[in-house]
Structure 1
Amino acid sequence: MTAQGWVDTLRAAVPGLTVALVIALASKFVSEHYGAPSMLLALLFGIALNFLAQDVRCGPGIAFGARTLLRLGVALLGLRVSFDMISALGWPIVGMIVGAVIATIGFGLGAARWFGFRHRFAFLSAGSVAICGASAALAIAAILPKDDKSEDRLVFTVVGVTILSTVAMIIYPALIGLFGFDDTTSGIFIGATIHDVAQVVGAGFSISESAGETATLVKLLRVSMLAPVVIVAAMIIRASASAPTEGERPPLVPGFVVAFIVLATLNSVVALPQAVTQVAQGASAWLLLIAIAAVGLKTRPQEILKVGKPAAALLLAETVFLAIIIVVALLLLPTPSP
């Protein structure tokens, strides 16, 4: 796209982006004052105003927010991870996390048929549970082939994993005592099982400062799995596309995933100023919040309800599966050093 083309696109997007931004600001305000998850609030507020997506003035900006800002936000997540996490956690824990992510996605793909779903919703739901909740759902949805139910599946998944994350934030710290975990092991469990970063931080630090720090580190390792999972999925989708023309073939590696990897590598090999990483992380959080508001604006409530109880049951089954395999692995592994 030429420079003038970008200018025209941005000019047309201003009204819709303004609506999404206002929703994001309102969601953040309510979240900070009443404790509700900002992602969930942005989605619900957007759904309540979904009629604006049909307005010719707002439509282009809402579509721009749900696609372009989403990808920018995911790319900037790369600055939240670094290769140093591996040495900090130790290879047994790293192997456990990687194995749990793969196993949960495999479980979702295998169990989906029992719940009446095919591979698209299975991968979307299992990937969001296994990796990083709403952020993973947004990234995975960006590479999946689109159909008339794509937006509904995405919205349902974001709502589902956010609610499950909030419930887990409350329940998991209370359950940890049953297994006799110390603070370090408790932090690993929290970081390896709760879906969204904010709820991981909340649950971890509710136990102790060391548990919170460990939980955050483990969670960021799960976030780093986003790039390889999306790359492998994109390659499979590209290879299985039925007789596409050259222009219709999905990219081998999505551009936003390349940016994620480049930024993660940069964060690993260069000592970036803390101010830079904080600004980038804040920008990522706001871009994703605006994007999810835009997704909500594009969603009709009656279509979400059609996804139904089987989808909720599948999300719950994937969440329980992940928790069980992490508990078993932690009971079998040597106790990590704090």
Structure 2
Amino acid sequence: MTINVLPEPRTLASASAFARMLPGLALSGALAATGIALGRIAWLQDHGFSALTLAIVLGMIVGNTVYPWAPRLAVASGAGVNFSKQNLLRLGVVLYGLRLTVQDIDHVGIAGVAIDAMILGSTFALACLIGTRWLGLERKTAMLIGAGSAICGAAAVMAAEPVVKARAEQVTVAVATVVVFGTLAIFLYPALFELNRHWALIPGGANGFGIYVGSTIHEVAQVVAAARSVGPDAANSAVIAKMVRVMMLAPFLVMLSAWLARDSTLQALVEAEHAHAKGQLAVPWFAFGFVAVVLLNSLQWLPASVVAVTTEIDTALLAMAMAALGLATHIGAIRKAGAKPLLLALILFGWLIVGGALINRWVPALLG
């Protein structure tokens, strides 16, 4: 007698859900792989174009050309694209902690940490104040542009998106501003270094200027490109200062989440759009995962080969998230946003250059 064992309903449901996501995951993965491959080209690396930036550009190209011509592809890919830009993003942010250690703080000292914290706080506050009260932008757009300018570019924008609950076009606009002004910084900062050699506004020579670079330029790749043009000493201190700034992403997300939950105006909007209970705190749990991974990496228990492979996987996950975001973004929505987001980013860029220089000058003097 033959007994037929039927699969459990939960197993069938999981298989069906994965099957629905597979086309979108495959498309996001293909675009991410292309972006990663292009990101290894020396010319693009020298000009600060990372795999994440290239992935979102490729996603936008496909999303605004192939998708309109093949609506069935867009429908079939929807589930996987949404999974990539939400779930894979959170996992990518957590694993990003493998690039950092607590020991990085020792290399820049208390002054370096204080500089990063002051630049982060002042830049984000200016973004919210100027963006909403003067330029009349939606607060979510201003916050995303502020996060990208204040912390670590596109990665910070993507990490803040689940907390702010912004639309895809708002995220893309914020990322675009990071690309524009971060790329401009690559060519501007070597000229500023030559001026600083005569004016001596920022103390510490190449090392001090490297901290200035790492504390004020948007993307990690852009920091590396700009600092290398100055010299190896500047490059080393710039990368460390930038990594300390990136480590502030997790506490920033937690504080931002608490602020949004306690803001009465935004709370009403959150309740209407997302059916949250009144006073509920939307804790970004992936931020705690990020901190946990940083602490684990600081213990140096993991073999270097494991860290290297996992970092490559993390780059692929973040690139898939960026590609998926590009696929979900329509040019018309960006055009509708107008010139105000770019103007806000320009003002913040000016603050990072001038205000950042003043902070880099006075904080070490005050702390001795």
The answer, yes or no, to whether TM exceeds 0.5 is yes
Residue identity opposite 1:179 in structure 2: N
Matches of 1:210 and 1:6, distance apart in 2: 52
Q: Deviations over 1:172-202 (max 9, x none)?
A: 1121111125210121111111111111111
Corresponding residue number in structure 2 for 1:43: 56
- The alignment partner of 2:76 has SS state of coil
- The alignment partner of 1:67 has SS state of helix
Max radius of gyration: which structure?
2
Corresponding residue number in structure 1 for 2:18: 10
Aligned length: 331
1:182-201 correspondence to structure 2 within 5 Å: 182-201=205-224
How many percent of aligned residue pairs carry the same amino acid? Answer: 28
Q: 1:3 to 1:159 in 2, by over 3 A?
A: farther
Matches of 1:78 and 1:198, distance apart in 2: 16
Corresponding residue number in structure 2 for 1:258: 288
Matches of 1:229 and 1:53, distance apart in 2: 39
Q: 1:318 to 1:283 in 2, by over 3 A?
A: same
Q: 1:184–1:211: 8 Å Cα contact kept in structure 2?
A: yes
Q: 1:261 to 1:5 in 2, by over 3 A?
A: farther
Matches of 1:29 and 1:270, distance apart in 2: 29
Corresponding residue number in structure 2 for 1:27: 35
My pick for the range that moved more, 294-303 or 109-118, is: 109-118
The answer to whether residue 77 in structure 2 is matched with residue 68 in structure 1 is: no
1:181-220 correspondence to structure 2 within 5 Å: 182-220=205-243
Q: 1:247 to 1:264 in 2, by over 3 A?
A: farther
- The alignment partner of 1:90 has SS state of helix
Q: 1:208 to 1:227 in 2, by over 3 A?
A: same
- With normalisation by structure 2, the TM-score equals 0.84
Matches of 2:98 and 2:14, distance apart in 1: 26
Residue identity opposite 2:101 in structure 1: S
Corresponding residue number in structure 1 for 2:142: 122
Residue identity opposite 1:292 in structure 2: M
Residue identity opposite 2:90 in structure 1: R
Q: Which segments of 5 or more consecutive residues in structure 2 lack a partner in the other structure?
A: 1-9
Matches of 1:10 and 1:70, distance apart in 2: 17
- Deviation at residue 281 of structure 1 after TM alignment: 2.1
Corresponding residue number in structure 2 for 1:235: 258
Corresponding residue number in structure 2 for 1:87: 106
Aligned match for 2:177, one of 137, 157, 160 = 160
My pick for the range that moved more, 80-89 or 51-60, is: 51-60
Q: 1:12 to 1:327 in 2, by over 3 A?
A: same
My pick for the range that moved more, 55-64 or 220-229, is: 55-64
Q: Deviations over 1:112-166 (max 9, x none)?
A: 12112142112111111000000000011111134xxx11110011111012111
Aligned match for 2:190, one of 153, 166, 173 = 173
